[in-house]
Amino acid sequence: MKTKTNNTADTLILLALRLITYAIVLVIGYILFDIVKNGASALNWQFVSSFPRRSGAAGGIFPAIVGTLYLVVGTIAVSLPLGIGGAIYLAEYADQGRFNTTIRLAIVTLAGVPSIVFGLFGLGIFVLFCGFGPSILAGSLTLACMVLPTIIVASEESLRAVPKGFRDASLALGATKWEMIRTNILPYSLSGMITGSILGIGRAAGETAPILLTVAAFFLPRLPKSIFDQVMALPYHLYILATQHPEADRIRPMQYGTALILLLLVLGLSLGAILIRTHFRKKFRW
């Protein structure tokens, strides 16, 4: 009899767990559905290809798309070499010394710094101290600092996936450490490092707080001429349209359209990275 009650209770608990899990799935599904459904009706070629008018109440969001892409490229250009280089050091050179511990502590700390604090930091150092002003350069550098830990962690994981035997064989043939890395580690881990990093950078593309203080322009219906120019950016543009705009209640389609484009950009980057990774995982098997 005891087992019987136990079984009923077990079944109920299992059911409850499943319900909670799928409730979360449903909520996520609804968020995506809401943004996609409302955003899709606002989307058209003119919306993504033309300049905004009336403070963004009309026209398109072309400069914001371009601005975000510039920021993504700038962030990649700074953070990828630095992050991959750091990961190579940690995976291939560092032993359990104090220097290594310090670096790991720094990475963990950096990963926990709130994005708005990165914004303050970027404002203090890049915008004011370095004198870059609010610019693509200052924004990219700020975002790069923010994604650095993600890139290092992803890259290190990819490096550690390369079998130890390759390293031994390479060194035993008389390769120097760097030759070993260049010829026998990087070719097999680079794709993993880059895709892992893009996942992190995709998230940075959707961040608002760090660019709020370092780069984003409220309304700037032209394209930047240099890295010292300010740009509009999708996340900030959405924030402005949704909360700061005098006509906020009447331009819902504009807002949804912007949200959808931003979502597509971020998820697209992530999805692309995941697909590339699967492709390369199939290519290199050992």
Partner 1 sequence: MVEQSLYPNYPQDLEMVITASQVDFFYGATQALFDISLLIPAKHVTALIGPSGCGKSTFLRCLNRMNDTIPHSRVEGEISINQKDIYTPDTDVVELRKEVGMVFQKSNPFPKSIFDNVAYGPRIHGEKDPRRLAEIVEQSLQQAAIWDEVKDRLHANAMGLSGGQQQRLCIARALAVGPKILLMDEPASALDPKSTMRIEDLIGELRTNYTIVIVTHNMQQAARVSDYTAFFYEGRLIECDATPKIFTNPRQKQTEDYITGRFG
Partner 2 sequence: MSRSRKQHITDKAMRLLLVGAASASVLIVCLIFLFLFKEAGPFALKPGLGKLMDSQWIPVSFQEEHFGVGPLLSGSALVTALAMLVTVPISVLVAIYIAEIARPGEREFLKPFIEILASIPSVVLGFFGLLVVAPIVKTFFGLSTGLTALTGALLLSLMAIPTIISLSEDALVSVPYALKNASLALGASHLQTIFRVTLPAALPGIVAAVMLGIGRVIGETMAVLMVTGNSAILTASPLASVRTMTATIAAEMGEVPFGSVHYQALFWIGIILLVITFFLNIIAQRVLKKYGMMK
44 binds, among partner 1, partner 2, none (CB under 5 to 8 A by kind): none
Is residue 207 involved in binding partner 2 (CB under 8 A)? yes
Closest distance of CB 257 from partner 1, Å: 46
Closest distance of CB 97 from partner 1, Å: 8
Is residue 282 involved in binding partner 1 (CB under 8 A)? no
Gap between the Cα atoms of 165 and 150, Å rounded: 27
280 binds, among partner 2, partner 1, none (CB under 5 to 8 A by kind): none
Interface region with partner 1, contact rule CB under 8 A, candidates 12-20, 152-160, 171-179, 273-281? 171-179
Is residue 102 involved in binding partner 1 (CB under 8 A)? no
Of 268, 263, 257, the C-alpha closest to 43 is 257
Element (H, E) at 88: helix 62-88
Site for partner 1 in 108-137 (CB under 8 A): none
| Backbone φ, ψ for residue 205 (5° rounding) | -65, -25
Give 136 or 153: the residue with its C-beta nearer to partner 2. 153
Is residue 101 involved in binding partner 2 (CB under 8 A)? no
Q: What are the residues whose beta carbons fall under 8 Å from the beta carbon of 154, sequence distance 6 or more?
A: 87, 192, 193, 196, 197, 199, 200
Closest distance of CB 274 from partner 2, Å: 8
Give the ranges where 89-222 is alpha helix by DSSP (H). 98-112, 115-122, 136-160, 164-172, 177-180, 186-205, 209-212
